[in-house]
A = this chain, B = another copy of it.
């Protein structure tokens, strides 16, 4: 937006520290955690947080963006290097595994009012997911009659469930396998 000048080094450093701190704090105490707590964890003053993120929801949104970025990167890596037969299943599993953070934040966003910037990132994520799924289908590893939106719904659900209900590692593994089993051709 503002072309202005590139961020000063210390400013960029602070921004990153705040994001990292926020991810931790919100994962621990929920979105109702105070911004002050985030500032403290990041080792900056409260004013600094608000300079970088004019409102709390901006901070939440930025965390989401960050998380999505990482998920997209992971997907693209799998698209480039993975075995089509397994890459899709690996990715699905990976998403659920890393859902502790994501899920928490997602959940909390729900409280902050719906739809914080769906935007192009979501599309990129959806697209990458679709690519992996298509590849798996062509390789005969996924039932041909399941539709992408259903699978994404399943993923969302499993992800939410995994964190909200506090499943044990074992239960989560078995449940994910059950879900994935349902996607394989009989």
| Chain B residues positioned under 8 Å from A167 (CB to CB) | 153
Q: Is A1 an interface residue (CB 8 A)?
A: yes
Contact with B along A149-186 (1 / 0, CB 8 A): 11101101111111011110001101100110111001
Closest chain-B Cβ to A80's Cβ sits at a distance in Å of 29
Cβ contact of A160, chosen from B147, B157, B166, B175, cutoff 8 A: B157
| A110-B107, A161-B161 known; A178 vs B156 contact (CB < 8 Å) | no
Q: Which residue of B lies closest to A45 (CB)?
A: B2
Q: How far is the CA of A106 from the CA of B161 in the complex (A)?
A: 11
A-side residues, CB < 8 A to B, are 1, 30-32, 43, 106-107, 110-111, 114, 146-147, 149-151, 153-154, 156-162, 164-167, 171-172, 174-175, 178-179, 181-183, 186
Known: A107-B164, A157-B161; 19 extra A-B contacts, CB below 8 A, are A1-B43, A30-B111, A107-B110, A110-B164, A147-B174, A149-B171, A150-B174, A151-B178, A153-B165, A153-B167, A154-B161, A154-B179, A157-B158, A157-B165, A160-B160, A161-B161, A178-B182, A179-B179, A179-B182
